Amino acid sequence: MSKAAAYASAAPTNDQLVVIHAGLVKKIAHHLKGRLPANVLLDDLIQSGMIGLLEAAKNFDGSKGASFETFAGIRIRGAMLDEIRRGDWVPRSVHRNSRMVMQAIDELQKEYGRDPKDYEIAEKLSISLDEYAQMLNDISTGKIIGIEDLGVSEDVIHTDDEHSDDSFNHTASEKFQGALSDAIKTLPEKEALALSLYYDEGLNLKEIGLVLSVSESRVSQIHSQAMVRLKSRLNSWT
Predicted local distance difference test score (pLDDT) of residue 88: 57
Q: Could you tell me if 90 and 142 are in contact, meaning their C-beta atoms sit under 8 angstroms apart?
A: yes
Q: Considering the domain 3-86 in this protein, what is its CATH number?
A: 1.10.1740.10
Please tell me the distance from the alpha carbon of residue 154 to that of residue 174, in angstroms, as a whole number.
15
Whole-number pLDDT of residue 219: 87
Nearest Cα residue to 150 out of 78, 223, 238:
238
pLDDT of residue 158: 35
Model pLDDT, residue 176: 63
Question: Which residues in the chain land under pLDDT 50?
Answer: 1-9, 143-145, 148-170, 238
Cα separation, 69 vs 15, in Å, equals 15
Please report, rounded to a whole number, the percentage of residues in the chain having pLDDT higher than 70: 72
92-237 maps to CATH 3.40.50: no
- Diameter of the chain by CA atoms? 78
Domain with CATH 1.20.140 in the chain: 92-237
Q: Would you state the pLDDT for residue 156?
A: 32
- Say if residue 136 is exposed, middle or buried (CB neighbours under 10 Å; 0-12, 13-18, 19+): buried
Residue-level pLDDT at 53: 92
DSSP state letters, 68-131: HHHHHHHHHHHHHHHHHHH-----HHHHHHHHHHHHHHHHHHHHHSSPPPHHHHHHHTTS-HHH
Query: Does the model's pTM come out above 0.75?
Result: no
Q: SS3 string of 135-203? A: HHHHHHHHCCCCHHHHCCCCCCCCCCCCCCCCHHHHHHHHHHHHHHHHHHHCCCHHHHHHHHHHHHCCC
Residue intervals of the chain classified under CATH 1.10.1740.10 are 3-86
The predicted structure's pLDDT at residue 146: 52
